Amino acid sequence: MPAPLMRPELSGTFGAVASTHWIASSVGMGVLERGGNAFDAAVATGLTLSVIEPHLNGPGGECPVLLYDAQSKRTVVINGQGPAPKAASLAKFRELGLDMVPGTGFLAACVPSTFDTWMHVLQTFGTISVSEALAPAIHYAENGFPLLAPMVGTIRMVKDLFNTEWKTSANLWLRNGEVPKVGEFQKNPAFAATYQRIAKDSEAATGPREKKIEAARATWSDGFVAEAMDKFVRTPAMDTSGKRHAGLLSGQDLSKWRAWEEHPATFEYANYTLAKCGPWSQGPVFLQQLALLAGFDLAKMDPVGPDFIHTYIEAAKLAFADREAYYGDPSFINVPLTQLLDKTHNDARRKLIGAKASLDDRPSPLAGFKIVATPETGKDENMSAAQNKASFGGAGEPTVRRDGFVRGDTVHLDVVDKDGNMVAATPSGGWYQSSPLIPELGFCLGTRAQMFWLQEGHPSALVPGKRPRATLTPSIAMRDGEPYMAFGTPGGDQQDQWSLIVFLHHVHHGMNLQEAIEAPAFHSEHFRSSFYPRESKPGVIQAEGRMPKATIDELRKRGHTLEVGPDWSLGRVSAVTKWKGIVRAGANPRGQQGYAVAR
């Protein structure tokens, strides 16, 4: 008999919001209650998350968005990933004596894209004003929000860095140099003032609503925000290289960038159509996994049994090998997605999945494409724990690290309204442990450029103006041609593992959203991490302690290395659906922070 749920699946007819923080979910539902649509609610939710989960995201980071617009009946990607600055080149990093982009500090900053992305959503699909969208975020920045245990824990890990190097961060996040207590309320007056000034400039603009939103975008990219960023990065700051470096980002980089719309990458799976961001994200790896798994009868497999987990993991290894070999910004390179998703290709590739765990890296050999081998890079065991934890702060983005190593992470939100509009978004970057606080603005820059390779010819090689191949990857699923599900999760490389497992449990194993989210989670760490220092663990499966012992024992017999963690330690998926007039929602109970709201 399955374990009782920690939370129920929510249902209703009016709308639903699910996110990684209960405050943000409540904000989104409030917007729906006041007559806003799903796009309005998503914008307000996302802007609020940038204030109340600053160790997981911020406006200095990035925000890919997938949405379904019921009026035009189309699924749209909003490119929320800013590119490398104009001054960021392979030659520049060679001049600095670096063979990897540092995981923290100014050198890893791409063009901040979160704010403009939300403004594009609001301007094109929403109905409310900039002031209305910003009001909840301003409220929490001005009046305070509760500090939860994970946030306080992160501050504790970077306390020494803040006190010795990043003094502007210490001034906000520490109390006379000491870590705040769990439950204290945190204010961020400079952040509130930033959003208030943008809202004021928007209201002062003449013309229709769209012109007022454009004024807000201009204030960000051409006004005081861009000026403050440009000025601040001129003073060198400590990063994971162990040295202080000035930044490469300029106000001109911000001035030239605007969020834009793209067609999603899609794949037909049974009676579903899955939509993902393009290969500038890791999104298509979700589709590649489906293409491989389509040849197995997953419904007949125990969802926590060794057959399902072994099959899933071996397919993931093949798909992620292709991610590393071929993915990159399609504006700069040719990504062979058609070949990688081709049925004949996957029928042949599926035969590589055997009875035993593979410890090899096996990207698809494709005619006309050369696979560029990546160099060996730093590994955790070769790095000083004290250096990583205390001196340089966090890098990377895995959600769970039991060794205490400080990392950044991500947030996620899903919204559906009564008209069937849907949004899935995964804001990330700009974590306060990744870069010094810009005191005039109340937030810091992102570090997504750490995902570039400093290697000529690599599909993810650094080029000025190029997007890094990000891990951020929201999802939308159509069912029988109708909009059905918006879902996603934080978690770096694990995002297209945890979210796919939830989808498969829901589709094949008869689980509702909450059951699928709460099922024992697992993932592969076989392939190269996307984040500094780019370690890999061939053959390793991370699994929650709730996984049946018989399953763990059998997987080990098949050649997998199992690292078993606490019972509720992996995955932060949330999801909403709308089907036959009924909306449903589920959110991750792990950490007791993510919540869904529906009525």
- The reported pLDDT for the residue numbered 406 is 47
Confirm whether 586 is domain-assigned: no
Residue 559 has pLDDT above 70, yes or no: yes
Give the pairing of strands 540-544 and 260-262.
unpaired
287-327 confidence digits (pLDDT tens)? 999 999 999 999 999 999 999 999 999 999 999 999 999 99
Q: What domain count does the chain have?
A: 1
Confirm whether 96 is domain-assigned: yes
- The reported pLDDT for the residue numbered 535 is 87
- The reported pLDDT for the residue numbered 108 is 97
| Mean confidence (pLDDT) of the chain | 93
- The reported pLDDT for the residue numbered 189 is 98
Confirm whether 6 is domain-assigned: no
- Tell how far CA 249 is from the center of its chain: 22
162-189 confidence digits (pLDDT tens)? 999 999 999 999 999 999 999 999 999 9
Q: How far apart are CA 396 and CA 169, in angstroms?
A: 19
The 3 state secondary structure assigned to 373-422 is CCCCCCCHHHCCHHHHHHHCCCCCCCCCCCCCCCCCCECCEEEEECCCCE
- 409 pLDDT band, cuts 50/70/90, is confident
Confirm whether 201 is domain-assigned: yes
- The reported pLDDT for the residue numbered 2 is 61
Instruction: Count Cβ atoms below 10 Å from residue 24 Cβ, excluding itself.
Output: 30
- The reported pLDDT for the residue numbered 389 is 36
57-86 confidence digits (pLDDT tens)? 999 999 999 999 999 999 999 999 999 999
Which tokens go with 439? Answer: 């005191």
pTM of the predicted structure, to 2 decimals: 0.95
**Of 597, 389, 398, 381, residue with least CA distance to 491:** 398
Mean pLDDT in residue range 349-373: 92
Give the pairing of strands 15-19 and 413-417.
antiparallel
**Of 242, 298, 302, 243, residue with least CA distance to 269:** 298
238-268 burial, b at 16+ Cβ within 10 Å, e below that, comes to: bbbbeeebebbbbbebbbebebeeeebbbbe
Find the domain containing 86 and state its range: 34-61+76-257+426-451
Q: How far apart are CA 276 and CA 410, in angstroms?
A: 18
Confirm whether 598 is domain-assigned: no
Residue 411 has pLDDT above 60, yes or no: yes
Mean pLDDT in residue range 208-225: 98
* DSSP calls for 314-365: HHHHHHHHHHHHH-S-TTTS---HHHHH-HHHHHHHGGG--SS---S--PPP
529-551 confidence digits (pLDDT tens)? 888 888 889 999 999 999 999 99
Confirm whether 446 is domain-assigned: yes
- The reported pLDDT for the residue numbered 378 is 46
Burial of 283 (0-12, 13-18, 19+ CB in 10 A): buried
- The reported pLDDT for the residue numbered 513 is 98
- 377 pLDDT band, cuts 50/70/90, is low
Instruction: Count Cβ atoms below 10 Å from residue 32 Cβ, excluding itself.
Output: 23
Residue 216 has pLDDT above 80, yes or no: yes
Residue 391 has pLDDT above 90, yes or no: no
- 379 pLDDT band, cuts 50/70/90, is very low
Three-state SS at 282: coil
- The reported pLDDT for the residue numbered 109 is 98
Locate tokens 């081998």: which residue? Answer: 373
Residue 395 has pLDDT above 50, yes or no: no
CA dihedral 156, 160, 163, 165 (to 10 degrees): -130
Which tokens go with 397? Answer: 């983005």
Burial of 18 (0-12, 13-18, 19+ CB in 10 A): buried
E strands present in 99-239? 145-146, 185-186, 237-238
Which tokens go with 214? Answer: 């454009």
- The reported pLDDT for the residue numbered 407 is 55
494-512 confidence digits (pLDDT tens)? 999 999 999 999 999 999 9
Confirm whether 290 is domain-assigned: no
- 368 pLDDT band, cuts 50/70/90, is confident
- 381 pLDDT band, cuts 50/70/90, is very low
Confirm whether 84 is domain-assigned: yes
- 375 pLDDT band, cuts 50/70/90, is low
Q: How far apart are CA 531 and CA 158, in angstroms?
A: 18
